[in-house]
Amino acid sequence: MNEPLRIGIAGLGTVGASVARILKSKSNSLTHRCGRPIEVTGVTARDRTKDRGVDLAGIEWFDTPEALAASSDIDVFVELVGGDSGAALDSIRTALRSGHHVVTANKALLAKHGVELALLAEEKGLILNYEAAVAGGIPVIKTMRESLAANDVSRVYGILNGTANYILTRMERDEISFEDCLADAQRLGYAEADPTFDVEGFDTAHKLAILTSIAFGTRVAADEIYVEGISNITLADIHAARELGYRIKLLGVALRTATGIEQRVHPTMVPLGSMIGQVDSVTNAVGIEADTVGSLLLSGPGAGGDATASAVIGDVADIAKSLPGHQEAPVFGRPAKELEPYQQAEIAAHAGGYFIRLTVHDRIGVFASLAGHMARNDISLASIVQHGGVKGGEDTQKTVVLVTHETTEADIRTALEAVLADGHLVSKPQVIRIEPAG
Ligand code: NAP
Ligand code: HSE
């Protein structure tokens, strides 16, 4: 029998406890598949007394992630602590400097420090795997980094946050409030320690930044991404979307344009009947458009302990199977030294259709004003739907939903500023982009 691969797990929460439990329960089949046993030799978390639902007898407990990362009794350091700095960052640096391969599910950290860590890993000839960091259980990193070597990618997009998709699905299906849906997602272990990352789009942006780097060979640039979350989406938007044949999804989209790379995260109208429109609940989906293969849509569970553990253990198994001296795929698909500088395309130039929901005072001249401002900005309307009139204080209010043909972000902004200035609106317009979806 070959020598066991010795792993240290830092973090025994939703993901870490699942990883430890599955490594134990599937130890025989993993040994067969990898050609050697995978043995957990060290663990750490904050609270040593907490019951994790997994037997840790015979495994050394370390007081800190850094102490575990520096141990000479591990070959692979598995970071499942979370956070883009502090213990997670320090321990991964320590593990690489100590000559240990690293597996992490930490997209926030990779979005901020991924290139630095890739340079360190590649310089040391070590593996830095992170399949679980993007789209949970979907093997998208491996697909993009290895299986699509024959392709130039033109667009990558997807539902990349399980919590946000779970909330939007439950709001539509069960008509329950945003807050109740979020509480359920937290109870199920889907949400980040700080759930604003999920609902305000930052977690999607972290994942998109990683996919963009692999797709386009550029340095990771999460801070350049245009980000809007779902916290302003109401049941009224969801109903209006449905009436017009759409569903609202939080999408991350990256594409190459003539002026750079357009990266954006925002609520998006996708056709009800499209494949991505059918991706519900905690399920994620990643669409890839590439020259040789054409279009791919990968879908599967995007969050949760076991689904994420599946990706983490797949990464560990790849290390167990790797041959000494064999050059692994570079961390971002090409050597980190050769990643190109990132050039962000202007969001104002984004072209597409728009859904605009307005609450207006029900007065003579409102429609003429709306139509006039749209026409003056070359915006062609595909449909107008109005609902009314609800008593609002002194007057009656109506909801007007406009769907535009393709136009630019800049024209929409100019037209809506003019509409606002006319004083017909009761509240800020709700603007949701429409994406041609697979
Ligand atoms: P979690 O349930 O909050 O678990 C975090 C673990 O880290 C806990 O065991 C905690 O210890 C430990 N920890 C936190 N700070 C520590 C410190 N300073 N020193 C030692 N241990 C520390 O988080 P999670 O959901 O498992 O997520 C872990 C990572 O996976 C994050 O990067 C997350 O973004 C990523 N991820 C999560 C999912 C998911 O569905 N949950 C999916 C994909 C990726 P205690 O238990 O003692 O408090
Ligand atoms: N909080 C994340 C989500 C976990 O809901 O998608 C998976 O990355």
On whether residue 422 sits in a domain, the answer given is yes
pLDDT band for position 325 (cuts 50, 70, 90): confident
If one residue of 18, 109, 134, 163 were mutated to test the ligand 2 pocket, choosing by the most ligand atoms within 8 A of its CB, it would be 163
Catalytic residue among 207, 249, 391, 398: 207
Q: Ligand 2: which residues within 6 Å by Cβ?
A: 136, 161-163, 190-192, 198, 203, 302-303
Rounded Cα distance, 216 and 339, in Å: 9
- The predicted structure's pLDDT at residue 390: 63
> Domain range for residue 376?
348-434
Domain-embedded: residue 342: no
| CA separation for the pair 379, 417 (Å, rounded) | 14
Through-space distance between the first and last CA atoms of the chain, rounded to whole angstroms: 47
Contact 359, 419 (CB under 8 A): no
Does 327 have pLDDT greater than 90? no
Flag whether pLDDT at 394 surpasses 70. Answer: no
Domain identity same for 358 and 410: yes
Angle at 136 between CA 134 and CA 141, to 5 degrees: 40
Question: Cβ neighbours of residue 362 under 8 Å, at least 6 residues apart?
Answer: 388, 389, 395, 396, 397, 398
Residues 265 and 323 in one domain: no
343 lies in some domain: no
Instruction: Give the helix, strand, coil percentages of the chain, each rounded to 5.
Output: 40, 25, 35
* pLDDT at site 1: 67
Output the residue whose Cα is nearest ligand 1's atom 21.
45
User: How many helices (H) does the chain have, and how many strands (E)?
Assistant: 14, 17
Out of 335, 357, 378, pick the residue that ends a domain: 335
In this prediction, residues 246-259 reach a mean pLDDT of 95
Q: Tens digit of pLDDT for each residue in 341-354?
A: 999 998 777 889 99
**Lowest mean per-residue pLDDT among 217-231, 257-271, 358-372:** 358-372
Q: Is residue 73 part of a domain?
A: yes
Mean pLDDT of 70-90: 98
CATH number at 11 reads: 3.40.50.720
Report which bound ligand comes closest to the CA of 250: 2
| pLDDT over 70, % of the chain | 98
In a domain? residue 220: yes
The ligand 1 atom at the shortest distance from the C-alpha of residue 81 is 7
pLDDT confidence of residue 389? 66
193 touches ligand 1 (CB under 6 Å): yes
Question: In Å, how far are 141, 260, 288, 311 from 60, measured between CA atoms?
Answer: 31, 49, 43, 24
Phi, psi of 120 (to 5 degrees): -65, -45
Does residue 312 share a domain with residue 196?
no
13 lies in some domain:
yes
Most ligand 2 atoms within 8 A of CB, residue of 161, 250, 280 to mutate: 161
Q: Mark whether 238 and 292 lie in a shared domain.
A: yes
Domain co-membership, 167 together with 293: yes
Report the alpha-carbon distance of residue 100 to residue 85 in Å, rounded.
19
Looking at the fold, whether 250 and 317 belong to one and the same domain comes out as: no
CA distance linking residue 51 with residue 299, whole number of Å: 33
Tell me how far apart the alpha carbons of residues 400 and 422 are, in angstroms, rounded to a whole number. 16
Atom 28 in ligand 1: which residue has the minimum CA distance? 80
CA of 109 to the centre of ligand 2 (A): 14
Q: Is residue 80 in contact with ligand 1, taking CB distance under 6 Å?
A: yes
CATH number, domain at 416? 3.30.70.260
On whether both 26 and 77 belong to a single domain, the answer is: yes
Beta bridge partners of residue 271, listed in sequence order: 246
The whole-number pLDDT of residue 437 equals 59
Q: Greater confidence, 347 or 318?
A: 318
Confidence at 195, pLDDT banded by 50, 70, 90: very high
Q: 318 and 188 in one domain?
A: no
State mean pLDDT over 273-290.
97
Query: Which two structure tokens, joined as six digits, stand for 314?
Result: 């797949």
Tell me the average pLDDT across 70-85: 98
Starting from the CA of residue 252, give the closest ligand.
Answer: 2
Dist CA 434 CA 72 (whole Å): 53
Instruction: Check pocket membership of 109 for ligand 1, CB cut-off 6 A.
Output: no
- What residue type is 112 in one-letter code? K
Which ligand has the minimum distance to the alpha carbon of residue 111? 1
Between 323 and 218, residue with greater pLDDT: 218
On the CB side of 80, CA atoms within 13 Å amount to: 27
**Position 393 confidence tier, pLDDT thresholds 50, 70, 90:** low
132 Cα–ligand 1 center, Å: 13
Q: 295 falls in which pLDDT band (50, 70, 90)?
A: very high
Contact 35, 318 (CB under 8 A): no
321 is catalytic: no
What is the 9 CA–ligand 1 centroid distance (Å)? 11
Q: How confident is the model at residue 164, as a pLDDT?
A: 98
Query: CA torsion sign, 42 to 46 to 50 to 54?
Result: negative
> What is the DSSP code (8-state) at residue 256?
E
220/290 same-domain check: yes
Mean pLDDT across 181-194: 97
pLDDT score, position 347 = 78
pLDDT value at residue 252: 98
Ligand 1 neighbourhood includes 308 CB (under 6 angstroms): yes
Ligand nearest, relative to CA of residue 163: 2
Give the span between the Cα atoms of 396 and 361, in whole angstroms. Answer: 6
| Nearest-angstrom CA–CA distance, 423 and 92 | 55
User: For the segment 351-392, what is each residue's pLDDT rounded down to a tens digit?
Assistant: 899 999 999 998 888 888 899 999 999 999 999 988 776 665
pLDDT score, position 396: 86
Q: What is the mean pLDDT of residues 254-260?
A: 92
In this structure, the answer to whether residues 424 and 372 fall within a common structural domain is yes
- Closest residue CA from atom 7 of ligand 2: 303
Please report the pLDDT score of residue 350 as a whole number.
81
Residue 205 lies in a domain: yes
Indicate the number of domains in the chain: 3
Helix 107-124, helix 86-97: angle, nearest 10: 10
Q: Are 188 and 270 in contact (CB under 8 A)?
A: no
Q: Kindly give the distance from the C-alpha atom of residue 17 to the centroid of ligand 2, in angstroms, as a whole number.
A: 16
Closest CA to 244 of 434, 374, 409: 434
Residue 272 belongs to domain with CATH number: 3.30.360.10
Q: Which of 253, 261, 307, 314 is nearest to 135 (CA)?
A: 307
User: pTM for the whole thing?
Assistant: 0.95
Same domain, 65 and 180: no
Residue 341 lies in a domain: no
**Are 322 and 225 within one domain?**
no
pLDDT beyond 90 at 261: yes
Mean confidence (pLDDT) of the chain: 95
